[in-house]
Structure 1
Amino acid sequence: MFAQSQSIHKLDNGTVLIDNFENDPVGELPHRWYDRDGNKKLINYPQDFSEHYLYKIRNNNANNFLRYQGVTAKHISFPLINENKDNIYNINLYETPILSWKVRAHKLPEGANEKTSDRNDSVASIYVVFGMGRVALVKKVPKSIRYTWSTTLPEGETGSKLFGNQQIIVVNSGKEDTGEWITFERNLVKDYRRMFGDDPPKNPIAILILSDGDSTNSYVKADYDDIMLKPEK
């Protein structure tokens, strides 16, 4: 995750606003988000690369938001450290442990199940990457928690993949809430302790977004907005 320093909003109440997409041009890729590995902003890639990222800024009732629509699986990343591994936003999870975000699901992937490889699709997932874990002695994979709106798994279901390096928490399930903005809030410190069994590092590496339907060959449509880290009440 090799982000260059860029502005981020810290509100008077201590909340860190990651992005609300209000400053992005409608119809374009989100200007502050990077490819999956955090190497380069999406808007700085040539069109034949970036056109595979199906996330675009939309506007309704004077509000900008991020929309995914399509089938292809491509994460987008908001790195929170730079190439020198500096904590460029001075984020401390113990001061702002509450991850808050909004999702509006429109079309869920048919029969998807995040715990099975052949049906691993989601209408809307947000990941927090805390560090790099290990699969073998040499190979490293991101150590993360994935919060997902699942088609078939019940709300509250948990699971793990990548030899335990990716922990999954289902925050909503099924079609009942489609078409409505739903706000989710999770205590990252508490979830990390529950899922990994120890304390999280105070400086997360990145936040990722993923909507996709490639495993089930489903058309998927979802909106994201108001991603922030908040102090505990």
Structure 2
Amino acid sequence: MNLFDSHLEEKTLRCFVMAFLVGCLPLHARAQQPVHLDNNAVLLENFENDTKHNYPHKWYDRDGNKKLVNHSESFLQDYLYKVKNRGRNNFLRFEGKAAKHISLPLVNEDKDNIYGIDIYETPILSWKVRAHKLPMNASEDDDDRNDSVASIYVAFDMGRVALFKKVPKTIRYTWSSTLEKGTELSKFFGNQKIVVIESGPEKKGEWMTFQRNIVEDYKRLFGDPPPKTPLAILILSDGDSTGSWVKADYDDIMLKPERSSK
């Protein structure tokens, strides 16, 4: 049965389905010993344990069904994320047009807390992005141009009813081609909030470190306190709506205590 109205634009529908499917987290994802750094940060991913030119071994397909490394090459033809290496550093690179996100679950289907995360203790989401090629004339507030060189989503528990279903609340932190830094948008019946954390090509080619207090952002954007453990972290780069070739790198995704965020 089709749960979605036929008048929705194709990209809007795909993004809405993406948000809904975040809830389909893998039952077999087991609790892991969190990696605590010297500043009490919880390291979620730095790709150092991955193999060059391969998919990152902890990340799942967009439906949360199976790890990327366990899929066939034919299935993965639109998952354009591969681990790269420069010197002693591994990082994740997206290169292409396809619009498929990858997912790092933080809880499983039984709501087990995989990494032992409490965002009230480590509210600062920190990550690095290096943008090489931005989608031309893309804009996250236009469904016909809704591409981004680099976005990280934090997916939380179920939000408002949308088209007869509850969907996860998500905050999308995006590097926009055209929207001004600091722009905030609301989509999908208020269930997805978009925050523009960088804009335009001026900083392309540079590693940029971004930090956001996801507890404070959630309270401001949704109007209530967040659950202590998000469902998942998502990564999405794409250029399909504008027909653009996009290239971006990701690294060092972690949750940090507020006092160590400087």
Q: TM-score, normalised by structure 2?
A: 0.86
In the alignment, is residue 68 of structure 1 matched against residue 91 of structure 2? Answer: no
Give the one of 161, 164, 167 matched to 1:141.
167
Verify the 8 A CA contact 1:19 1:226 in the aligned structure 2: yes
Q: How many residues align?
A: 233
Contiguous gaps of at least 5 residues in structure 1: none
Structure 1 residue 83: Cα displacement: 2.0
Match runs of 1:1-233 below 5 Å: 1-2=25-26, 4-5=29-30, 6-136=32-162, 138-233=164-259
Per the TM alignment, residue 139 of structure 1 is displaced from its structure 2 partner at its CA by 1.4
2:29 aligned partner, one-letter code: Q
CA offsets 1:71-101 (integer angstroms, 9 cap, x no match): 0001000000112111121100100000000
Q: C-alpha distance in 2, partners of 1:7/1:91?
A: 11
Q: Secondary structure of the residue that 2:218 maps to in structure 1? A: helix
- The DSSP-based 3-state class of the residue aligned with 1:38 is coil
The alignment's TM-score, normalised by the length of structure 1, stands at 0.97
Matches of 2:67 and 2:172 in 1, distance apart? 22
* Structure 2 Cα separation of the partners of residues 137 and 144 of structure 1: 17
C-alpha contact 1:104 1:222 (8 A) present in aligned 2: yes
Give the match's secondary structure for 1:51: helix
Give the direction of change, closer, same or farther, for the CA distance of 1:8–1:53 in structure 2 (3 Å limit): farther
> For the residues of structure 1 that align with 2:206 and 2:168, how far apart are their CA atoms?
31
Moved more, 42-51 or 115-124: 42-51
- Give the SS at the match of 2:162: coil
Q: How far apart are the structure 1 equivalents of 2:203 and 2:92?
A: 18
C-alpha displacement at 1:135, in angstroms? 3.7
| Aligned residue type for 1:166 | Q
Q: Secondary structure at the match of 2:74?
A: helix
Identify, as 1 or 2, the structure richer in helix: 2
* Deviation of 1:141 (Å): 2.1
- Aligned equivalents of 1:27 and 1:228: distance in 2? 23
RMSD over aligned Cα atoms: 1.2
Q: Distance in 2 between matches of 1:119 and 1:142?
A: 23
CA contact (8 A) 1:55 1:67 kept: yes
AA aligned opposite 1:23: N
Q: Secondary structure at the match of 1:193?
A: helix
- 1 CA distance for matches of 2:166 and 2:65? 17
* Contact 2:162-2:188 at 8 Å conserved across structures: no
**Cα 1:183–1:176 shift into 2, 3 Å:** same
Write out per-residue CA displacement over residues 163-195 of structure 1, whole angstroms, 9 at most, x where no aligned residue: 110000000000000000000000001100111
In the alignment, residue 51 of structure 2 is paired with which amino acid? P
Once residues 135 and 153 of structure 1 are traced to their aligned partners in structure 2, the CA distance between those partners, rounded to angstroms, is 28
User: How far, CA to CA, are the matches of 1:136 and 1:53 in structure 2?
Assistant: 27
Partners of 1:104 and 1:150 in 2: CA distance = 13
Please state how far the C-alpha of 1:138 moved relative to its aligned partner: 3.1
Residue 7 (structure 1) shift: 4.9
Q: 1:152 to 1:86 in 2, by over 3 A?
A: same
